[in-house]
Amino acid sequence: MSKNPSCSGWTRCDNLVIFPGFREVGGFDGLWRKYPLAMPNVTVPNTTCHVTSDKWDVMLKTPDDPDMPWPGFLLGQTPSSIWYWCADQVGSGFLMF
């Protein structure tokens, strides 16, 4: 149970950011069109880390992808997500009592 009932999770406080943000970019379609064109205000010279990948909209990439192969994503992210969730549950239990 949330200690602050005026901002109970995903329902209220997050919507204060999400809906104005989507309105600003033109909805989900606007986000999909504008994201590949986005550039940061500051870039690092002689690097390409600020350039959006051509495969930005593919979540599970090929197994030999140099940026994030799907076996590394699934086998690497799953244990760390489970660890984080378990640690968060323990921390929440301490805060509630």
Q: Work out the percent of the chain whose per-residue pLDDT is above 70.
A: 78
More confident residue, 21 or 4: 21
61 strand-pairing partners: 69
From the list 20, 56, 24, 16, the residue with the least C-alpha distance to 37 is: 56
Q: What is the pLDDT of residue 74?
A: 85
pLDDT tens-digit series, residues 38-53: 888 888 888 888 888 8
- Which tokens hold the place of 89? 């549950």
Q: What is the pLDDT of residue 97?
A: 58
Residue 58 has pLDDT above 80, yes or no: yes
pLDDT tens-digit series, residues 6-28: 555 555 667 788 888 889 999 98
Rounded Cα–Cα distance for residues 95 and 97 (Å): 6
Which residues fall within 8 angstroms of residue 35, CB to CB, at 6 or more apart? Answer: 52, 56
What is the value of pTM for the model shown?
A: 0.52
pLDDT classification of 73: cutoffs 50, 70, 90:
confident
